[in-house]
Amino acid sequence: MSKPEVTAIIPVYNDHHSLGAAIPRSLETLAKITPDFEIIVAEDGSTDGSTEFVRDYEKRDPRVRLLHRDERQGRGKALNRAIREANGSIVCYYDVDLATDMQHLEELVGAIRGGYDIATGSRLLPDSDIVRTGGREIASRSYNLLVRTILGSKVFDHQCGFKAFNKERILPVLPTIRSNHWFWDTEILVRGQRMGFRVREFPVHWRAGKGTTVRMKDVFEMGSAILRLWWQIHVSKD
């Protein structure tokens, strides 16, 4: 197989039930965008059979690769590792539940082809089409307003799990990222903008996955993560 143009990363933790749909849909969608692609399943210490499922798929289709960890390291670490090991010059990732409609993948990849360093789907632009509970909507808008106000980001939606990068440009950013979990998405956007990267944000069709709720603990963690990154950037100069 020739060196792929695009690497699509699917971060996974105990998502066996979603992989059965996510992998074939990814193969189908990517094949319409480019003949040269690979899919990396960044599996992070799953115990539900996800590892075995992907290993079996890997044997049947060389375009699918498994990156496995025996113990859970965190979504951020899994993405860092997958991006470093990606063979494509364009690297994208999306959530295994395919909450963002895969029809947008061509636009995501196209933005990097067109010269942007980072591209990201957005649930908070006027033309975005989203369905989720009122509590999650309020929490999301409040969180993103704080990121824009405190950290100076120009992006409206930092947490949408649907992003792409110019691999060569993004690699130097990875060692600066401190978050290993959910805040990784925000941190890479903030640090990328501070390095002068061109960022393309576009509206998407998005549906909330099952079992996603907002707890008070999450709200406090969101605020703490924003303030911690502000401190790292402006005081400790990390």
Q: Which residues are catalytic?
A: 185
Q: How far apart are CA 157 and CA 146, in angstroms?
A: 11
Beta pairing partners, 130: 206
- The strand pair at 90-94 and 6-12 is best described as parallel
Structure tokens at 4: 């792929």
Among the listed residues 128, 117, 156, the one whose alpha carbon sits nearest the alpha carbon of residue 140: 156
Please give the distance of CA 23 from its chain centroid, rounded to a whole number: 16
Structure tokens at 224: 């703490």
Structure tokens at 80: 């860092």
